[in-house]
Copies of this chain bind each other. A is one copy, B any other.
Amino acid sequence: MAKQKKTPRPKADTPKGFRDYFGADVAERKAMLDAIAGVYHLYGFEALESSAVETVEALGKFLPDVDRPNEGVFAWQEDDDWLALRYDLTAPLARVFAQYRNDLPTPYRRFAMGPVWRNEKPGPGRFRQFYQCDADTVGSGSVAADAEICMMLADALEAVGIERGDYVIRVNNRKVLNGVIDGLPVYSDGKTTFPKVRNVDEMMQVKMSELEFVSPDAILRTIDKFDKVGREGVLELLTTGRKDSSGAEIEGVGLGISDAQAVVRFLEARGINNDETLRNLRNFVGEPIEFDDGQVVPKNIEFADGLGELSDIADLCAAQGYGPDRIVIDPSVVRGLGYYTGPVYEAELTFEIEDEKGRPRQFGSVAGGGRYDDLVKRFTGQEVPATGVSIGVDRLLAALRMKGRIKADTTGPVVITVMDRDRMGDYQAMATTLRNAGIRAEVYLGNPKNFGNQLKYADKRGSPVAIIQGSDEADRGVVQIKDLVLGAKIAETATLEEWKDQPAQFECTVADMVARVREILDR
């Protein structure tokens, strides 16, 4: 038997990768999410709060083929089932729609806001519980649903305080991307690339075994880096590779230079407005076209289809006054390799911030989404078209803080100090009087012996005002009002003489207290 030991005290720590949110953090996020929810509600979307716990089967991210699945999710076994915390709000939406499809209206427009959990290696600024804020329309295949979400996203950004001109919603279509990639060679011997259907003769001249398949995903992944590495970077990555900023060698995709140039031409097809962009993109479709370098791009039905959808979205938005100052067709938008099947969109904040090295750069993406038509099918066998967006709550909140656009009231309470322990009822009455006037107020409830501690407490609370009433003041029916904001300013700049005058503290009658406190708060 093991020796009996005294149990050591438990550690008071959040688990690694988890954190707590205090006062202003909670209030600021809530104010932002409330504003977004207001916009979503106005557009006819309904709130949904799905269970935080799902069966692993419903989440479908992995199967419990090992003793304990832990790839990406927090999971535990219960009898024969595995349960897990949701890792996003989309997988639960698919489950909910499949489960309640006979009762829910179709299309089902819903928004959802709440924490999700990822079982990933925690790191600085990388947390394993964080907020997501999603809006989706399930059961509509119409691009009007995509256009609506783009416009709603623009409204939501303005509602939280991002001004017009400081953001843009960039729209693309995965069919267009797939169409372009489909027109590209898919085999490479490291120097030359070979198209899927053309150049069979040429391909016969090299041994097939020396050819490597160029994955469309690899091309897509590279295009996704266009924002970060730019034109030259993408050209290098699509061909023979490049050194990244740390000096590490990144392998190239293996396309020939002319193919890579064709891709970059596509990425740079964004014109001065959506009409010009769509005109430029039309060059990549229609009748087979031949480029200067002799490359031929055949007519591509998927591309044409996607281009038509993009054109419809641009028209629908323009008809509501959402022009290219807000909603921009941009062929370089990819939105990862996910499950998107049609339109994709992202919200980018265009104002400049400094990167970690002090260089200016755009703030970047704060929301993204697109059309996904296969998620509900897993459950029902029926394809259900859906489109939706997810706002990066922490990033958008960070942007609002940078721009000073936080709308939450984070002022501390008026603190009524305690000079005489036997008169708690009187002090409470002052707090009640202030509260009845709508002013946040509280009585100091710690040990009142040390008055300095009471003022330190008020300081820590961010209190704008402290109220002081000793027995002398009580006898005379007055209170001392200490303006803590002004007091702090004076303390920073005042001379000793000025300090002695204590202009930040004054006396008033009990009857005047509310009015005088309000004067300070309104200042």
Contacts and interface: CB of A to CB of B under 8 A. Distances in A.
Given A15-B51, A48-B22, A378-B9, A316 B137 contact: no
A41 interface: yes
Interface stretch (A249-257, A261-269, A280-288, A439-447): A439-447
A13 B44 contact: no
A76 B15 CA distance: 12
Contacts of A441: 42-44
A138 to B, nearest CB: 10
B148 A445 contact: yes
A44 B457 contact: no
A78 B70 CA distance: 9
A144 B424 contact: yes
Interface in A388-438: 412-413, 415, 424-426, 428-429, 431-432, 435, 438
A520 interface: no
A139 interface: yes
A224 interface: no
A341 to B, nearest CB: 17
A319 B428 contact: yes
A386 to B, nearest CB: 11
Interface string A283-310: 0000000000000000000000000000
A502 interface: no
Contacts of A10: 55, 57-58, 60, 378-379
Contacts of A47: 21-23, 26-27, 30
Interface in A37-95: 41-44, 46-55, 57-58, 60, 68, 74-78, 81, 83, 92, 95
Interface stretch (A101-109, A184-192, A240-248, A348-356): A101-109
Given A46-B23, A53-B15, A60-B10, A107 B446 contact: yes
Contact of A443 (B26, B54, B139, B148): B148
A392 to B, nearest CB: 18
Contacts of A53: 15, 18, 74, 117, 128-129
A147 B428 CA distance: 10
A449 interface: no
A337 to B, nearest CB: 22
Contact of A75 (B76, B92, B100, B380): B76
A228 B341 CA distance: 60
Nearest to A94: B12
A316 B425 contact: yes
A476 interface: no
A446 B140 contact: yes
Given A23-B47, A76-B75, A320-B432, A12 B52 contact: no
A14 interface: yes
Contacts of A68: 76-77
Interface string A456-495: 0100110000000000000000000000000000000000
A439 B289 CA distance: 50
Contact of A55 (B13, B74, B105, B445): B13
17 contacts: A10-B60, A11-B379, A14-B95, A15-B51, A18-B52, A20-B50, A21-B48, A22-B48, A25-B49, A42-B435, A43-B413, A53-B129, A74-B76, A74-B83, A142-B424, A145-B445, A148-B443
Interchain residue pairs A-B with the least CB separation, the first 5 = A44-B442, A12-B98, A319-B425, A44-B413, A26-B47
Interface of A: 9-15, 18-23, 25-27, 30, 41-44, 46-55, 57-58, 60, 68, 74-78, 81, 83, 92, 95-96, 98-100, 104-107, 109, 115, 117, 128-129, 137, 139-140, 142, 144-145, 147-148, 315-316, 319-321, 378-381, 412-413, 415, 424-426, 428-429, 431-432, 435, 438, 440-443, 445-446, 457, 460-461
Given A10-B58, A15-B81, A147-B428, 11 more contacts: A9-B378, A12-B99, A13-B55, A15-B83, A18-B51, A20-B51, A21-B47, A52-B115, A52-B129, A74-B76, A140-B445
